[in-house]
Amino acid sequence: MYLNLIGFEDLLHEAAKQKKAFEESGKKENLQEALLQLDNEKKAFETVLQRSLDGDKNPRWEGWYSPAKRRPNNGFPTQEMLEEIKQKLETAL
Protein backbone atom coordinates (compact mmCIF):
# COMPACT_ATOMS: atom_id res chain seq x y z
CA MET A 1 0.00 0.00 0.00
CA TYR A 2 2.86 2.37 0.81
CA LEU A 3 4.33 1.86 -2.65
CA ASN A 4 0.92 2.64 -4.18
CA LEU A 5 0.74 5.87 -2.15
CA ILE A 6 4.23 6.92 -3.29
CA GLY A 7 3.28 6.27 -6.92
CA PHE A 8 0.10 8.29 -6.51
CA GLU A 9 2.03 11.14 -4.93
CA ASP A 10 4.53 11.12 -7.80
CA LEU A 11 1.68 11.50 -10.29
CA LEU A 12 0.25 14.43 -8.31
CA HIS A 13 3.66 16.13 -8.28
CA GLU A 14 4.07 15.63 -12.02
CA ALA A 15 0.68 17.23 -12.70
CA ALA A 16 1.59 20.13 -10.41
CA LYS A 17 4.88 20.62 -12.26
CA GLN A 18 3.04 20.69 -15.59
CA LYS A 19 0.57 23.26 -14.25
CA LYS A 20 3.42 25.43 -12.97
CA ALA A 21 5.17 25.12 -16.34
CA PHE A 22 1.97 26.35 -18.00
CA GLU A 23 1.75 29.30 -15.61
CA GLU A 24 5.33 30.27 -16.44
CA SER A 25 5.27 29.66 -20.19
CA GLY A 26 1.61 29.87 -21.20
CA LYS A 27 1.99 26.68 -23.26
CA LYS A 28 -1.32 24.82 -23.38
CA GLU A 29 0.58 21.57 -23.97
CA ASN A 30 1.58 21.65 -20.31
CA LEU A 31 -2.06 21.77 -19.24
CA GLN A 32 -2.91 18.94 -21.59
CA GLU A 33 -0.10 16.87 -20.04
CA ALA A 34 -1.41 17.68 -16.56
CA LEU A 35 -4.87 16.48 -17.62
CA LEU A 36 -3.38 13.23 -18.92
CA GLN A 37 -1.67 12.80 -15.56
CA LEU A 38 -5.04 13.20 -13.82
CA ASP A 39 -6.38 10.16 -15.64
CA ASN A 40 -3.44 8.15 -14.32
CA GLU A 41 -3.92 9.68 -10.87
CA LYS A 42 -7.53 8.55 -10.71
CA LYS A 43 -6.53 4.96 -11.49
CA ALA A 44 -3.71 5.06 -8.95
CA PHE A 45 -6.04 6.57 -6.36
CA GLU A 46 -8.60 3.82 -6.91
CA THR A 47 -5.85 1.26 -6.28
CA VAL A 48 -4.87 3.02 -3.04
CA LEU A 49 -8.48 3.11 -1.88
CA GLN A 50 -9.02 -0.54 -2.71
CA ARG A 51 -5.88 -1.54 -0.81
CA SER A 52 -7.06 0.56 2.13
CA LEU A 53 -10.39 -1.20 2.14
CA ASP A 54 -8.77 -4.63 1.77
CA GLY A 55 -6.49 -3.87 4.69
CA ASP A 56 -4.19 -6.32 6.33
CA LYS A 57 -5.14 -9.98 6.09
CA ASN A 58 -4.50 -10.42 9.82
CA PRO A 59 -7.89 -10.13 11.60
CA ARG A 60 -6.20 -8.16 14.38
CA TRP A 61 -5.76 -5.22 11.99
CA GLU A 62 -9.15 -5.42 10.28
CA GLY A 63 -10.32 -1.92 9.36
CA TRP A 64 -7.02 -0.35 10.45
CA TYR A 65 -6.41 1.24 7.04
CA SER A 66 -10.03 2.18 6.39
CA PRO A 67 -10.25 5.54 4.59
CA ALA A 68 -13.12 6.47 6.94
CA LYS A 69 -10.63 6.53 9.83
CA ARG A 70 -8.16 8.78 8.06
CA ARG A 71 -7.67 12.12 9.75
CA PRO A 72 -8.89 15.00 7.58
CA ASN A 73 -5.58 16.86 7.83
CA ASN A 74 -3.41 13.84 7.17
CA GLY A 75 -4.48 12.03 4.10
CA PHE A 76 -4.70 12.22 0.37
CA PRO A 77 -7.26 13.87 -1.89
CA THR A 78 -10.73 12.53 -2.42
CA GLN A 79 -12.19 11.62 -5.81
CA GLU A 80 -14.15 14.88 -5.62
CA MET A 81 -10.93 16.87 -5.14
CA LEU A 82 -9.35 15.21 -8.17
CA GLU A 83 -12.44 16.04 -10.23
CA GLU A 84 -12.28 19.66 -9.08
CA ILE A 85 -8.62 19.87 -10.10
CA LYS A 86 -9.52 18.45 -13.51
CA GLN A 87 -12.33 20.97 -14.00
CA LYS A 88 -10.02 23.89 -13.14
CA LEU A 89 -7.39 22.67 -15.59
CA GLU A 90 -10.00 22.25 -18.33
CA THR A 91 -11.27 25.78 -17.65
CA ALA A 92 -7.74 27.14 -18.09
CA LEU A 93 -7.49 25.50 -21.54
- The structural domains of the chain, with segments of one domain joined by +, span 2-92
Position 72 scores a pLDDT of 60
Number of CB atoms found within 10 A of residue 37's CB: 22
Contact between 43 and 66 (Cβ < 8 Å) = no
Rounded Cα distance, 88 and 8, in Å = 20
pLDDT digits (tens, 9 = 90+) for 19-77: 999 999 999 999 899 888 888 888 998 888 888 777 767 788 777 777 677 666 566 67
Find the largest Cα–Cα distance for the chain: 53
pLDDT at site 2: 80
